[in-house]
Structure 1
């Protein structure tokens, strides 16, 4: 287990060991090792194409060919289909947000099945993202990028999942919306959610996360906690090309 996760006193909610993944004949992940402590926020950092999003999709079983071990709690899920993984309390917010353009905000929010009674109500989601309240009957195609991202996160909170996988939640958003997304992640952490997110914005990642993994060519090449990433931030900015 990488040093960053070892330092947490919380037991891992998600443990990935020697994870390999393929798209057709293309071998994308080459032995990923990650541990995500219960109640922590963890980021996957790396250049485009490094394997970050593939790692999230592999956790959800979306990548058809996987090998290795993915433990959610103490349950091995590597052989499970996506519909069988979600009931273990995992929800995925994809990079493209997956908003249904012809459905309005309320319909998008109420579409997912709830896996337990801990899912937020529509009213609770609207309290978390007040901007959506005035857009409740607007179709997804009429929402701004920030509103779509809020809706995408709100929708997975309706399911009752406690492990949230967020793929590039701040990509293309205005600074004020990025700040709000950061505040939302902090609130969710306080409420006991565990979050694994892919992020290109290093400063944002440093502001919200407890631990960080740097992925390159489908492997974890470094891990950091809050203190050590500050010491390596200049080098990381160069490696990330931002």
Structure 2
């Protein structure tokens, strides 16, 4: 096992999220088989892997959406494994699902302001419009009348208001045009500069390399490798084998 994965969370004071031996099930299907990794405050970490590797299940397990789970999920030293989603979210963790979860019957403004502010430090409306100027122009439009890229921007913007400091982003670039993918990358880098900590599920490691500090490779529900972003070029062949691309 990798040294970076085995090192206990308490050995580092800058670890915001520490996952150890996380297992999870959907009914009788055993999906996660001992996920172990950590995320330091202020960094962007990606979970890379093929479809079905357990990346999304990991994010949902952190949020308590997957109910049958065991192991350890520590956020700022507090154990969350037995906590329900409503408690986990109020610790300062925001989840942006792959399907985005935009409410069709609500306007952009209503979608944006629907989640409650859970703690201080969230972005104000004008700050959000600076990041996503398209949303300001579409405030009165129905959420599902937006383009795919605009919906993704709205889904991310919605959790930035809440005061969450750890953002879990599930496939934010999936199905988007290259120019929108580039915009999402710029936004993630700006959020990192503002001090947000981000766990990003991705299959496109070329995009991930533009935003992340480190990359965890996931296979069959466990972390099998960790690659610092500075070493991604010399590990390109290995990543191709892992991801089957």
When normalised by structure 1's length, the TM-score is: 0.96
Displacement of 1:153: 0.3
- Distance in 1 (CA, whole Å) between partners of 2:158 and 2:166 is 14
Match of 2:60 among 57, 60, 81: 57
Deviations 1:152-171 (CA, angstroms, capped at 9, x unpaired): 00000011000000000000
Please give the alpha-carbon distance, in whole angstroms, between the structure 1 residues aligned to 2:222 and 2:4: 16
Range 157-166 or range 111-120, more displaced: 111-120
Name the CA distance, whole Å, in 2 between partners of 1:12 and 1:140: 36
Does 2:148 match 1:174?
no
The answer (yes or no) to whether the contact 1:93–1:153 under 8 Å persists in 2 is yes
CA contact (8 A) 1:47 1:241 kept: yes
60-69 vs 227-236, which moves further = 227-236
State the number of aligned residues: 241
Distance 1:20 1:230 in 2: 31
TM-score (norm 2): 0.95
Is 1:102 aligned to 2:105, yes or no?
yes
Q: 2:48 maps to what in 1? A: 45
4+ runs deviating over 3 angstroms: 1-6
Q: In 2, Cα distance between the equivalents of 1:180 and 1:54? A: 26
1:205 matched residue in structure 2: 208
Query: Residues 186, 239 of structure 1: CA spacing in aligned structure 2 closer, same or farther, 3 A cutoff?
Result: same
Query: Does the aligned pair in 1 maintain the 2:17–2:38 contact within 8 Å?
Result: yes
Shift of 1:20: 0.3
Partner of residue 217, structure 1 = 220
3-state SS in 2 of match to 1:232: helix
Instruction: Give the structure 1 partner of residue 155 of structure 2.
Output: 152
Map 1:27-176 onto structure 2 (within 5 A).
27-176=30-179
Distance in structure 1 (CA, Å) of the matches to 2:226 and 2:4: 6
* Counterpart-to-counterpart distance in 2, 1:19 and 1:107: 36
Whether contact under 8 Å (1:2, 1:35) holds in the other structure is no
The offset of 1:241, in angstroms, is 2.5
In structure 2, C-alpha distance between the alignment counterparts of 1:235 and 1:106, rounded to whole Å: 44
Q: Give the Cα–Cα distance (whole angstroms) in 2 for the partners of residues 200 and 130 of structure 1.
A: 27
Give 3-state SS (helix, strand or coil) of 1:238's partner: helix
User: Could you give the per-residue CA deviations for residues 64-123 of structure 1, whole angstroms, max 9, x where no partner exists?
Assistant: 101000000110000000000011110000000000111111000000010112111222
Q: Please, which runs of 5 or more residues in structure 2 have no aligned partner?
A: none
Following superposition, the deviation at residue 135 of structure 1 comes to 0.7
The residue aligned with 2:15 is 12
SS of the equivalent of 2:232 reads helix
